[in-house]
Structure formats: C-alpha cells, structure tokens
Amino acid sequence: MCSNCLENTDFCTTTKICKAFGCKQEFSSEEIKLALRNSPEIMVWRYFEIANYLQCDRGCNNQAILKVTLCRHSYCFPCLHQKEYSSAYTYCNRDVILCSSTCNVEIPRSVVQNCFLLFRKEAIMTAITLELSKEKCIRCKDEDLKTLRIKNRFCSYSHAYCILCCEYMKAGSLREQRPWLMSDVIEEQIGCIHTLCKSYTPLKCLDVMVETLTGKNIQTEIFIRNANFPRNCNGCRTAEADIVFVRCSHGFCVGCIDSRMQERSNNGYLQCIYRGCSTLIPLFVISELPKSIHWDGKSSDINGLLVGNICGKFY
C-alpha cells in the first residue's frame, strides 16, 4: 500500500484487514501510524545505501557518499544535490527522476530530498563519517585486538585513534566551522593530529561514537537498522534478513547472528558475516537489538550469548 492509501485508512477500529484483493492479513492502527511516521527514512534506505570507498560516477573525482541500490551507481553530495533539482516527470502521482542520462532507474524526487534530512541525524552522520578499525592507534600505537580504534572513512592515510587519544585530539586540535563532506551542512570539525593529514572530523560525530563505545549513550542506529524490505540473509542466503548493518548494507537473520557469536571468540566485537567484509559491530550494540529492532516474533538467545564475551565497554 502507498502512503496515500495508508493515510486514508480508518483508524476508528484497533484492528484492520489489508485491502488488497484476497489478502486477510490483519494489522493494528498503531502499526499503520508507525509506518507513516517512518516511511521517509524507510524509502531512503530502499533506494540508497552507504557507498564503500567508491568514486562518484558523475566524473567529478569526489569520493562517493551514497550508492543507488537498484543500479549500483554512486554519488557524492554535490552531485546528488544537483540531481535533486534535475528535470523530472510524473509517475503514479509523484515526481520521478532518472539516475543518470544513461541509466533508466527511477528515483522519486521526495526520496532524494529526504536523504539530506536523514543524514543530518547524528547517528547517520556518524555512520557515514566514522568506522571501527583493528589498526593500531596513530598516536599511542595501541594495537590490542580487544580495544577497537575509531577511523575517519575519508582520511587518505587511514589514521585510527583509540578512545583515549580521541579525547586528546578533541582537546588539542584546532576547531573549524567547515562544510561536512562538501554538503550544505556546516559543522564544527577538528583536524587529524598528523601534520600531513588534511582530514577533518565533525566534533559531533566523534562525541556520538565515543559515547556509544563507552556505553554512556548507546545509539544503535550507527551500526544497525531494521530490514524494512524483504531480502535474503547474506549469511545463509535462505532465511529472510531481520537486520541490516548500516555501514556495509549486508543483511542477516537472527539465526546467522546467533551462530556466529557461538562459533568463535569475538574479542568484544562482531565482524560482518559476509565474506571479505571488514565492518565491525560492538557486541554490546548487538545486545540492544531486542530493544531497537522489530524481530517479527522470533526468539533469540543473543543476550545469553553475550555472557562472558564482554567485560564492560570499549574502555
């Protein structure tokens, strides 16, 4: 059902039956209201995902921020902003734009517009800018596998910092008001302490990541989101995915998450199950899944599996 039909649904009764011909599926009015409230974000993730170390396909030589899920073409923020104002045509009562002059993939203009609203959220901005790394800290040379480092994805030298050195960097580095990744979002940012590095990190993103890793304010949206559309699990390829890792867009079912945590020592984090993917998720974030993700009534022993695997947070 489209959002227009959902908005016209009668909310007088607590239980409704799907209006599609022959369908008897029941749903509550609260589920309808939740779907309407989350539909802009859900539609963004239907058409886009975070690009992993790709160049913009528009030929501007900028590093891509987003990738179109249907055709795999990548865009930086300036090129995506130009796409927002490109020519469109009407299809099913909505403005639709083509991915490019040589690509016939259709993207609703409203989805492109909602991209810029979604990416102003602290958690999503942090997911785009920062990632966890096993590389040693550039400052204190710490390379303990049990304490992951924080790395700016757009750093040319792949510099990583432990949490203590992140605090040092925030106190000692110069702060500037700069556009975030060439977008129209102006953020207070700090530079890398390495003299040759020209990368800048939004102070807000660094604070969000540090607070999450230390357990002060865990924001699961940095690492995981609900699998809003039917897709096969990237682990077993048979079951339907329940969650998606935000950083790499790989989706997994509860069974694959459970089995991976049972099979090996995780050192406090879980690496993406998909072969060749280096995305890292803290285990205590996985423990927040029942609170933040709708599991469709499936039972999971994730919290039980965490016993003995975690000693506090990443400090």
Model confidence pLDDT, tens digit, residues 179-221:
998 888 899 999 888 878 888 999 999 999 999 998 888 898 9
Asked whether the predicted pLDDT for residue 156 surpasses 50, the reply is yes
pLDDT recorded at residue 130? 94
What is the rounded average pLDDT of the residues 153-161? 88
Reported as a pLDDT band with limits 50, 70 and 90, residue 9 is low
pLDDT recorded at residue 282? 87
What is the rounded average pLDDT of the residues 36-57? 86
Q: How many CB atoms lie within 10 A of CB 8?
A: 9
- Whole-structure pTM over 0.85, yes or no? no
Per-residue pLDDT tens digits for 290-314: 544 544 444 444 444 333 333 333 3
Task: Report the alpha-carbon distance of residue 116 to residue 257 in Å, rounded.
Answer: 31
SS3 202: strand
Task: Judge contact between 183 and 202, C-beta under 8 A.
Answer: no
pLDDT recorded at residue 87? 64
Task: Report the alpha-carbon distance of residue 301 to residue 203 in Å, rounded.
Answer: 36
Share of the chain above pLDDT 90, in %: 23
pLDDT recorded at residue 128? 93
pLDDT recorded at residue 6? 64
Share of the chain above pLDDT 70, in %: 78
pLDDT recorded at residue 204? 93
What is the rounded average pLDDT of the residues 16-35? 69
Task: Report the alpha-carbon distance of residue 170 to residue 33 in Å, rounded.
Answer: 41
Task: Judge contact between 96 and 200, C-beta under 8 A.
Answer: no
pLDDT recorded at residue 26? 73
Reported as a pLDDT band with limits 50, 70 and 90, residue 7 is low
pLDDT recorded at residue 258? 81
Angle among Cα 38, 44, 50 to the nearest 5 degrees reads 125
Asked whether the predicted pLDDT for residue 315 surpasses 60, the reply is no
Task: Count Cβ atoms within 10 A of the Cβ of residue 277 and give its class: 0-12 exposed, 13-18 middle, 19 or more buried.
Answer: middle
Query: For the ranges 15-19, 81-85, 140-144, 184-188, which has the lowest average pLDDT?
Result: 15-19
Per-residue pLDDT tens digits for 66-81: 999 999 999 999 988 8
pLDDT recorded at residue 40? 84
Tokens of 197: 């590095």
pLDDT recorded at residue 180? 92
What is the rounded average pLDDT of the residues 124-140? 91
pLDDT recorded at residue 254? 84
Reported as a pLDDT band with limits 50, 70 and 90, residue 152 is very high
pLDDT recorded at residue 300? 44
Dihedral (Cα; 35, 41, 45, 49), 10-degree rounding: -160
> What rounded mean pLDDT belongs to the chain?
80
Asked whether the predicted pLDDT for residue 96 surpasses 60, the reply is yes
